[in-house]
């Protein structure tokens, strides 16, 4: 098979790395890819991710047998539909199904209709009414921009003042464009968060190993929200019983509901869960693999990813036997100093080979090649991943790799997986 991977972050590097292990895969292309992916894929320059036509034309010309779409934006712009229209199987949801991530109000309405546990909520299109509702409900309370906002559209407000200024900023400021014309206001849920990703062909659902992300920038879960500073898998909070509850109460009803609505969902469904005293509740759905969850989930997959993905495209997931390693994996993200605020680019990165010699895998997220050297080019630069028999051993191994890597201003969390470690000690 010839495979086309869409995207160029740490998630896509991990997808390409895992796909390359399949004996059925001949060649992998990536648009745009990154210098790390270049080891396993041919990176294609000059095609914009928002140009469906050019991507489809490239896929036809390169005789692609299956495309794998990483990020949410091309999914919500209908790239999967465009590829399928010319007969190229594409792993990922259609535009209509990707609404589950693209519109929070759609996702909430689906959860309400299909009785899926989630935070109580109300949707507003008028700022005045939203402010009145906030005053009536009090704090803490959660304010969300309706559309895609690159992870920046959510404010967990501790005071009414903070909530009102979030409403004003989202609905009356300019930073969110169309995504801010509508807000979802939610009850603030209390508990531990976990991510449960699943393969689905629209009918059969196979949950992956659970994982947990660290979204805050600094140690102790302090500082601003980021795209994710590190992950570990499995998440101890997701016991086998809890996974089963989540499959029954969340994954099965949402996949059946999407089918009933005429928006059958195939690909990877990401359920962001809050494990509350009343059980798992949905924080959000994403229409794609998580980043950096993928970096810890896929190393634990023992089966052939290309076969599983093709089975999802062909509606034959029930015929796949999917096996997981019983070890653990940890990912530490190395970011540019200043991230998630402004940061410098172009710093040379040293020690990549030494980190790999120390037994870690290094997935590239924001890197570029300049004069034959790898340099920084984004906020999240690298994901250093280790696999071991348990989380403690994987943490030690991952940080041993991290210590080998240097670039100017490097910033990373030193406490990845602390909750899991505390849980195991306690
Ligand atoms: P989202 O972009 O929906 O994933 O939200 C970003 C983060 O905000 C989540 O990972 C949670 O930590 C937090 N969050 C979102 N919704 C809620 C909620 N209803 N209650 C508590 N925390 C929330
Ligand atoms: N790591 C969170 C996400 O991929 O949305």
Q: Which CATH number do you get for residue 25?
A: 3.40.50.20
263 Cα: distance to centroid of ligand 2 (angstroms): 23
Say which ligand is closest to the CA of 166.
1
225 Cα: distance to centroid of ligand 1 (angstroms): 10
262 Cα: distance to centroid of ligand 1 (angstroms): 28
- 145 — pLDDT class (breaks 50, 70, 90): confident
11 Cα: distance to centroid of ligand 2 (angstroms): 10
Q: Which residues sit with their C-beta closer than 6 Å to ligand 1?
A: 119, 142, 151, 154, 156, 186, 188-189, 193, 215, 272, 283-284
Domain end marker among 291, 319, 347: 319
Q: What is the CATH number of the domain that holds 360?
A: 3.90.600.10
Mutate to test the pocket of ligand 1, among 156, 166, 176, 285 (most ligand atoms within 8 A of CB): 156
- The residue-averaged pLDDT of 47-67 equals 98
Q: Are residues 197 and 278 in the same domain?
A: yes
- The residue-averaged pLDDT of 215-228 equals 92
Tell me whether residue 101 is in a domain.
Answer: no
Per-residue pLDDT reduced to its tens digit, 242-301: 999 999 999 999 999 999 999 999 999 999 999 999 999 999 999 999 999 999 999 999
12 lines ligand 2 (CB under 6 A): no
| Residue nearest (by alpha carbon) to ligand 2 atom 4 | 290
Q: Are residues 380 and 261 in the same domain?
A: no
What does DSSP say about strands 205-207 and 192-200: parallel, antiparallel, or unpaired? antiparallel
Let me know: does 196 contact 210? Beta carbons within 8 Å. Answer: yes
DSSP string, 204-225: -EEE---BEE--EEETTTEEEE
The yes-or-no verdict on residue 9 having pLDDT over 80 is yes
Q: How far apart are CA 315 and CA 96, in angstroms?
A: 18
Of 26-35, 163-172, 261-270, the one with minimum mean pLDDT is 163-172
7 lines ligand 2 (CB under 6 A): no
Mutate to test the pocket of ligand 1, among 147, 277, 283, 285 (most ligand atoms within 8 A of CB): 283
Q: How far apart are CA 33 and CA 29, in angstroms?
A: 8
Ligand 2 atom with the shortest distance to the CA of 286? 5
Ligand 1 atom with the shortest distance to the CA of 151? 2
Domain end marker among 319, 349, 377: 319
- 151 — pLDDT class (breaks 50, 70, 90): low
Q: Are residues 22 and 139 in the same domain?
A: no
Q: How far apart are CA 284 and CA 286, in angstroms?
A: 7
Left (φ > 0), alpha (ψ -120 to 50) or beta: where does 355 sit? alpha
Q: Are residues 311 and 246 in the same domain?
A: yes
Q: Are residues 137 and 68 in the same domain?
A: no
150 Cα: distance to centroid of ligand 2 (angstroms): 10
Ligand 2 atom with the shortest distance to the CA of 291? 4
Tell me whether residue 112 is in a domain.
Answer: no
* Helix (H/G/I), strand (E/B), else coil: 31: strand
Ligand 2 atom with the shortest distance to the CA of 284? 5
Q: Are residues 253 and 150 in the same domain?
A: no
Tell me whether residue 100 is in a domain.
Answer: no
320 Cα: distance to centroid of ligand 1 (angstroms): 33
Mutate to test the pocket of ligand 2, among 217, 269, 293 (most ligand atoms within 8 A of CB): 293
Domain that holds residue 78: 2-92
Count of structural domains within the chain? 4
Q: How far apart are CA 211 and CA 270, in angstroms?
A: 11
Q: Are residues 239 and 140 in the same domain?
A: no
What does DSSP say about strands 42-43 and 141-145: parallel, antiparallel, or unpaired? unpaired
pTM score above 0.85: yes
The yes-or-no verdict on residue 149 having pLDDT over 80 is no
Q: How far apart are CA 416 and CA 172, in angstroms?
A: 37
Q: Are residues 289 and 338 in the same domain?
A: no
Q: What is the CATH number of the domain that holds 229?
A: 3.30.470.20
286 lines ligand 2 (CB under 6 A): yes
Which regions of 204-304 does DSSP assign to beta strands (E)?
A: 205-207, 212-213, 216-218, 222-225, 230-233, 267-276, 279-286
Residue 179 gets which letter from DSSP? G
Let me know: does 27 contact 51? Beta carbons within 8 Å. Answer: no
89 lines ligand 2 (CB under 6 A): no
The yes-or-no verdict on residue 174 having pLDDT over 70 is no
Q: Are residues 309 and 207 in the same domain?
A: yes
Q: Are residues 216 and 315 in the same domain?
A: yes
User: Which among 321, 297, 289, 304 has a CA at the least distance from the CA of 234?
Assistant: 297
Q: For position 418, what pLDDT does the model report?
A: 85
Q: Are residues 298 and 333 in the same domain?
A: no
Say which ligand is closest to the CA of 154.
1
Q: What are the CA-CA distances from residue 304 to residues 23, 25, 328 (Å)?
A: 8, 10, 19
- 420 — pLDDT class (breaks 50, 70, 90): confident
Ligand 1 atom with the shortest distance to the CA of 190? 21
């Amino acid at each position: 098979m010839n495979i086309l991977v869409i995207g160029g972050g740490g998630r896509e590097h991990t997808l390409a790395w895992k796909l390359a292990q399949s004996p059925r895969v001949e060649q992998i292309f990536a648009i745009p890819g990154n210098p790390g992916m270049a080891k396993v894929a041919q990176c294609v320059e000059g095609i914009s991710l928002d140009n469906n036509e050019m991507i489809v034309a490239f896929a036809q010309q390169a005789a692609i047998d299956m495309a794998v779409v990483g990020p949410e934006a091309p999914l919500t712009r209908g790239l999967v539909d465009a590829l399928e229209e010319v007969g190229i199987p594409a792993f990922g949801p259609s535009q209509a199904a990707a609404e589950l991530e693209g519109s929070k109000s759609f996702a909430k309405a689906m959860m309400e209709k299909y009785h899926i546990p989630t935070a109580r909520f109300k949707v507003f299109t008028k700022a005045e009414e939203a402010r009145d509702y906030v005053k009536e409900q009090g704090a803490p309370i959660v304010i969300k921009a309706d559309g895609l906002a690159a992870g920046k559209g959510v404010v967990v407000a501790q005071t009414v003042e903070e909530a009102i200024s979030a409403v004003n900023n989202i609905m009356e400021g300019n930073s969110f464009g169309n995504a801010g014309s509508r807000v979802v206001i939610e009850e603030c849920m209390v508990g531990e968060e976990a991510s449960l990703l699943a393969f689905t062909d629209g009918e059969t659902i196979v949950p992956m190993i659970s994982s947990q992300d660290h979204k805050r920038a600094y140690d102790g879960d302090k500082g601003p929200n980021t795209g994710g500073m590190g992950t570990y898998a499995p998440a101890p909070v997701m016991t086998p019983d809890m996974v089963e509850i989540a499959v029954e109460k969340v994954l099965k009803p949402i996949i059946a509901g999407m089918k009933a609505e005429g928006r059958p969902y195939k690909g990877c469904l990401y359920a962001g869960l809050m494990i509350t005293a009343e059980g798992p509740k949905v924080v959000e759905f994403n229409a794609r693999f998580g980043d950096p969850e993928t970096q810890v989930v896929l190393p634990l997959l023992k089966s052939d990813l290309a076969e599983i993905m093709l089975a999802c495209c062909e509606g034959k997931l029930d015929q796949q036997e999917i096996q997981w390693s019983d070890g653990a994996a940890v990912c530490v993200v190395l970011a540019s100093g200043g991230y998630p605020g402004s940061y410098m680019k172009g710093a040379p990165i040293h020690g990549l080979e030494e980190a790999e010699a120390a037994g870690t895998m290094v997935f590239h997220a924001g890197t570029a090649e300049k004069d034959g050297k790898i340099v920084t080019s984004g906020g999240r630069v690298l994901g250093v991943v280790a696999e071991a028999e348990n989380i403690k051993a994987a943490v030690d191994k991952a940080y041993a790799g991290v210590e080998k890597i240097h670039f100017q201003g490097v910033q990373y969390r030193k406490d990845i997986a602390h909750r899991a470690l505390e849980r195991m000690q306690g």
